[in-house]
Amino acid sequence: MRVAAKEAELVAPGTDEARVLLVGDATTAATFQMRELALSGYNVVVDRAANAFQVVGPGKLAVRPPAETVAQTAKSSQIGALFTDEPVEIEWAEAMTFDGSTLAFRGSEKHAVLISQRTQTLRCREARFTLTRPILIFDLDAQATENLD
């Protein structure tokens, strides 16, 4: 895990109740990065106990979809053919939340939510994705490490 911020606070480190509060400044966003996920914004909260993270204000998320999710999506819908196992980047203007099963992004009238993968980009005012199987945020790193053995 990598963290960078102008101000950072770690609440209850080393416990299941751990929370990371990150604040960037006007020129540099705060970042929270793990092997399969990179999150940046000016006000980032990562809450292990709630299995949640949120960004208030503009931000960016880059995540590599799990291979089984890509395969399942490709079989189940026409839009599935658009997704690959390459990283997905999502940018928003107002807010982002994730609760372990639902990702929600909010843009503004002037700045749409941008969802990009390779050469494809989807623009919308708001976006919400619900995972068929909830994931644990901190398990993303653990799973990647286990797969190295």
pLDDT tens digits, one per residue of 83-111: 567 888 999 999 999 998 899 999 999 99
* pLDDT for the residue 44: 92
Kindly report each contact of residues 45-51 with a partner whose C-beta sits within 8 Å and lies 24 or more positions away, as own/partner: 45/19, 45/20, 45/21, 46/19, 46/20, 46/22, 46/137, 47/19, 48/16, 48/17, 48/18, 48/19, 48/137, 48/138, 49/16, 49/17, 49/18, 49/19, 50/99, 51/99, 51/100, 51/134, 51/136, 51/137
Question: Is the model's pLDDT at 76 over the cut of 70?
Answer: no
Mean pLDDT for 29-50 is 87
* pLDDT for the residue 67: 56
Does pTM surpass 0.85? no
